[in-house]
Structure 1
Amino acid sequence: MNIAQAIKVTFSNVAIVSSITSTIFIILLGFYLRKRGIFTEKFGKILSKIVLTVALPALAFNSFMQPISNETLSQGMNVLIWGIVIYIILIFLTPLSYVKYPKDKRDVLAVLTTFGSTTFFGIPIVGAVFGPKGIMYSSIFNIGYRIFLYSYAYIKMSGLKMKASNLKKMFVNPVVIATFLGLILWLCQNYVPQVAVKQAVNGVINANAPIVHVAFYRIDQTAIWLYKPMQYLANLASPLAWLSIGSTLGSTSFKEAAANKTSWYYSFNKVILVPLLNLLLLVILSVTNILPVSYIALGTIIIMMATPTAAVASSYAISFDREPVLSSDASFISTIMAVIAMPIWIAFLGVLSQIGIFH
């Protein structure tokens, strides 16, 4: 299949197109509701808290309620390795993009470029495009992200040594707890007592469904009464996150943020160059079979890396008075660029799948 045919097939794919339009339309709805005053600034923050404390933990945990195979285990471990390696690479590489700036500003821009909003912005889009397997890979990928975000980024931005309270933030929050619990259960499912049940698909058991043997804690099969309410909560993650993003954009002055040329340069690096670097390196690693990744694993990583400024990284800049105005402008502009660029990345990934570079 040539590139022209691949593009045609990609844009004929209802799942890809609907994922793109859903993201854009709901973000625009949040923007409109904020501009009209229906959403207040406080309400947007409440939506964010609901997503981070309820919806995303349920989404992360439920994503691990699926069978384990040699392929998914291998891909999961490769994603985990890359999720650590890429942040080490970016820590050393991103400052080179800002050599013309004073050291203080260079350090801040490098940290903001390295760490994106993978949890709040990335995972809901991954879920919409790649489903539970993509969410599972994104949760695994985020392990390395959180290690460096709450250690390196904190030390770099604060100029202080690591605090015990920051270690607590690293491990004791609902998304991290749900991720590690789900990961452990997923890895151990073949080594615990098994039960025979009629196979359920998306929480529904057909009368003619085959009998399957699963771990007793696979609630998607053994306790649908518990899995279903968690699935309802998980389904809130994408629309609420997108409404919150739109509300945030609607509460900021575009004119003031757009006047900062550095924020545009930063946003291009964050939303275009960082995911492009990931793509090129992963192509090389897959072709050489050093660290092969599947199409879903690759797509998940690219979407996660094409996200705007991480809220935590931005809050570090504001809390420690490290270019707070630049950080706020960069966060706003990178969010707008990510909303525009994300559909392009999703479509490009669809083309790659049609060409057959990744499987």
Structure 2
Amino acid sequence: MPAIIENVISLFIIILVGVYGNKKNIITEEINKALINILIQIALPFMILSSFIYTYDDAIKSNVTKTFYYTIIAYVIMIITSYIMLLPIKNDKKIILHFANIFTNTGYVGFPILNSIYGPEGVIYGSIFNMFFVILLWTYGIILFKGSLERKKLKSELKKILLNPSIIAVCIGIIIMMFDLQLPNALLSSIKNIGSITGPLSMIIIGVILSNTKIKKYIGDWTLYYGVTIKLIIIPTIMYLFSLVIGVSSKPITTIIIMSALPAAAMTAILAESFNKEKEYAAVIVSVTTLLSLITLTILLKFIL
């Protein structure tokens, strides 16, 4: 357990580097957007791919299948819990909070934490969760903000899903794992090295996001506290209790619990800005859940590991 806490503290220190970089105008908003593109389009897919390039036994291959089922159940639980808990909220803030509850920060926070706890095996299970994240983001997520998804745009959204670098990485990775393909050492080393920048890069990006958020404006807003409580405490607790009820304790189920307990995805703020729905509020939700998750995740890990 001390090693896990050390890893979380290490991630937090790197976040502070991001804050420093932004305050000193070394990492501007434009540079941060470029870093996000590098992370999502290059580093993260390579990290996912590298996690599959190992020799795994049949038990781990079986766990990959189980992770599919657990992930579907997890998203159903998150959607239903969030919908019921947010009934008291009626305006656009409800859309932001519901989206934030369902779509967690798998890329910036999830994978670095899973990698520090379980290594490549954890990243594999996390990548299955992330695959459903991408699929739901460009369907259910867009419907939340737009109110519907036109047939004309359905084809383009499906194309986005299929061509998403992380989805492509998962598909290639599963093929490599199932057929036990051996890659040349030079290629293998390159894939691992590029993927290894995911953790530090994501924490620096979070630091920049945190340093730009004006939290003071929303200190008196009860929906902020209510939403954060649902996101970081109630949903992970329900997920943990569900695992106890079904009597399953394994790396796949623990991975799913961790992924559901992560802070709100950065896409919460990005889509809020795109659709002009409480964009400042969305940025605050992302920042506050990210900051507080360092505490809530550490406590959760003590219970489930």
What's the TM-score once normalised by structure 2's chain length?
Answer: 0.91
Deviation for aligned residue 1:315: 2.6
Q: State the partner residue of 1:145.
A: 133
Q: Which amino acid aligns with 1:57?
A: P
Counterparts of 1:150 and 1:341 in 2: how far apart (Å)? 28
Alignment match of 1:253 (pick from 199, 210, 214): 214
Q: State the partner residue of 1:308.
A: 263
Q: State the partner residue of 1:34.
A: 22
Q: Structure 1, residues 52-86: CA drift from partner, whole Å, max 9, x if none? A: 11111111011111223331122111111111122
1:349 matched to 2:301? The reply is no
Deviation for aligned residue 1:134: 0.4
Between the aligned residues of both structures, percent identity stands at: 29
Counterparts of 1:332 and 1:262 in 2: how far apart (Å)? 15
Q: Can you give the 5+ residue segments of structure 1 that lack an aligned partner in the other structure? A: 1-9, 190-214, 351-359
1:60 matched to 2:48? The reply is yes
Q: State the partner residue of 2:201.
A: 240
Deviation for aligned residue 1:269: 1.2
Alignment match of 1:81 (pick from 62, 65, 69): 69
User: By percentage of residues, which structure has more helix?
Assistant: 2
Q: State the partner residue of 1:98.
A: 86
1:231/1:257 CA distance change after superposition, 3 Å: farther
Counterparts of 1:242 and 1:24 in 2: how far apart (Å)? 7
Deviation for aligned residue 1:321: 2.9
Alignment match of 1:158 (pick from 139, 146, 154): 146
Deviation for aligned residue 1:178: 0.6
Q: State the partner residue of 1:205.
A: none
Counterparts of 2:29 and 2:294 in 1: how far apart (Å)? 20
Q: Which amino acid aligns with 1:86?
A: A
1:171/1:313 CA distance change after superposition, 3 Å: farther
* 3-state SS of 2:148 partner: coil
1:114/1:250 CA distance change after superposition, 3 Å: same
Counterparts of 1:38 and 1:103 in 2: how far apart (Å)? 38
The within-5 A match list for 1:181-330 is 181-187=172-178, 189=179, 215=180, 217-219=181-183, 223-285=184-246, 287=247, 292-294=248-250, 296-330=251-285
Counterparts of 2:30 and 2:296 in 1: how far apart (Å)? 28
Q: State the partner residue of 1:209.
A: none
Alignment match of 1:118 (pick from 101, 106, 110): 106
Counterparts of 2:249 and 2:54 in 1: how far apart (Å)? 19
Q: Which amino acid aligns with 1:341?
A: T
Q: State the partner residue of 1:25.
A: 13
Coordinate RMSD, CA, aligned: 2.0
Counterparts of 2:219 and 2:124 in 1: how far apart (Å)? 36
* 3-state SS of 2:213 partner: coil
Q: State the partner residue of 1:179.
A: 170
Counterparts of 1:47 and 1:340 in 2: how far apart (Å)? 26
What's the TM-score once normalised by structure 1's chain length?
Answer: 0.78
Deviation for aligned residue 1:137: 0.6
Q: Can you give the 5+ residue segments of structure 2 that lack an aligned partner in the other structure? A: none
Counterparts of 2:28 and 2:91 in 1: how far apart (Å)? 38
Counterparts of 2:212 and 2:280 in 1: how far apart (Å)? 15
Q: State the partner residue of 2:158.
A: 167
Alignment match of 1:339 (pick from 286, 294, 300): 294
1:131/1:310 CA distance change after superposition, 3 Å: same
Q: Structure 1, residues 4-51: CA drift from partner, whole Å, max 9, x if none? A: xxxxxx33xxx3233122111111221122223232222222222221
